[in-house]
A and B are shown apart, each in its own frame.
Chain A
Amino acid sequence: SQQGEEDPQALSIQEGENATMNCSYKTSINNLQWYRQNSGRGLVHLILIRSNEREKHSGRLRVTLDTSKKSSSLLITASRAADTASYFCATDANTGTASKLTFGTGTRLQVTL
């Protein structure tokens, strides 16, 4: 079963604009990760935020985590056509003996010129 939901399911913006995607989850977590997937192929890891962190930056990416609301957001600033992809959040809730990433349903981002 899916852990949670990404919102929106689809997003279309123009190059240069910012894109914000939200993720909600259901259980307590150790960390939350964001991945990108191009054209239904492999996933590329973007950023990991631990449960004791509230905000993290990596290049044009900014991730926030609110454990009280069980939600996270991914902001992509100054988007490019190459950012067109599906974006998934994944939660890691295990205690250390195993790792099971539970993915959301994804946001399809379309960046047009």
Chain B
Amino acid sequence: DAGVTQSPTHLIKTRGQHVTLRCSPISGHKSVSWYQQVLGQGPQFIFQYYEKEERGRGNFPDRFSARQFPNYSSELNVNALLLGDSALYLCASSWIVARTEAFFGQGTRLTVV
């Protein structure tokens, strides 16, 4: 079985631009979560989606948005990029919404210049 796949693996954007990151969960998993990991720190929760509905949102500005599609894949969108948005963006999937282990993708390394 394929694991969680994320695309692209690396991305360089300019301040003020928009970026879309994509995630395909493990087959059969209906929950997708997004995390931001700044260098030297632990991942921080951004969003969780389950059955196409937003179930949780972390402490991130409205420039961050996400959605989940009928096939359970997900997109994370970030508008008006700032230098501080440079980070590793991780997607995690799980088969139920809570109280279970999460399976992470390899992440998308976003650099804002």
Chain A residues at the B interface, C-beta cutoff of 8 Å: 1-2, 30-31, 33, 35, 40-45, 48, 88, 90, 92, 94-106
Cβ contacts under 8 Å, B92 to chain A: 43, 101
Chain B residues with CB under 8 Å of A100's CB are: 33, 45, 48, 56, 58
B43-A99 in contact (CB<8A): no
By Cβ-Cβ distance, the 4 closest A-B pairs, closest first, are A103-B42, A99-B98, A98-B56, A98-B55
Whole-angstrom distance between the Cβ of A88 and the nearest chain B Cβ: 5
Minimum distance in angstroms from B89 CB to a CB of chain A: 11
Given contacts A42-B105, A43-B90, A45-B103, contact A99 B42 (CB under 8 A): no
User: Given the complex, which residues of B lie within 8 Å of A88, measured CB to CB?
Assistant: 42-43
Contact status B107-A2, CB under 8 Å: no
CA distance A44 to B100 in the complex (A): 14
Which interface class (under 10, 10 to 19, 20 to 34, 35 or more) fits B?
A: 20 to 34
Interface of A is mostly: loop
**Which residues of B sit under 8 angstroms from A41, Cβ to Cβ?**
88, 106-107
Instruction: Kindly identify which residue among B39, B50, B101, B103 contacts A98, using a CB–CB cutoff of 8 Å.
Output: B50
Checking B42, B98, B107 against A42 with a beta-carbon cut-off of 8 angstroms, the contacting residue is B107
Q: Do A99 and B94 touch across chains, with their CB atoms under 8 A apart?
A: yes
Once the chains are docked, how many angstroms separate the CA of A104 from the CA of B107?
Answer: 18
CB distance from B41 to the nearest CB of A (A): 6
Contact A106-B98, Cβ < 8 Å, known A42-B106, A43-B90, A99-B31 = no
Complex A-B: 12 CB contacts under 8 Å = A1-B59, A2-B44, A30-B99, A33-B102, A42-B105, A42-B106, A48-B101, A94-B99, A97-B55, A99-B48, A99-B99, A105-B41
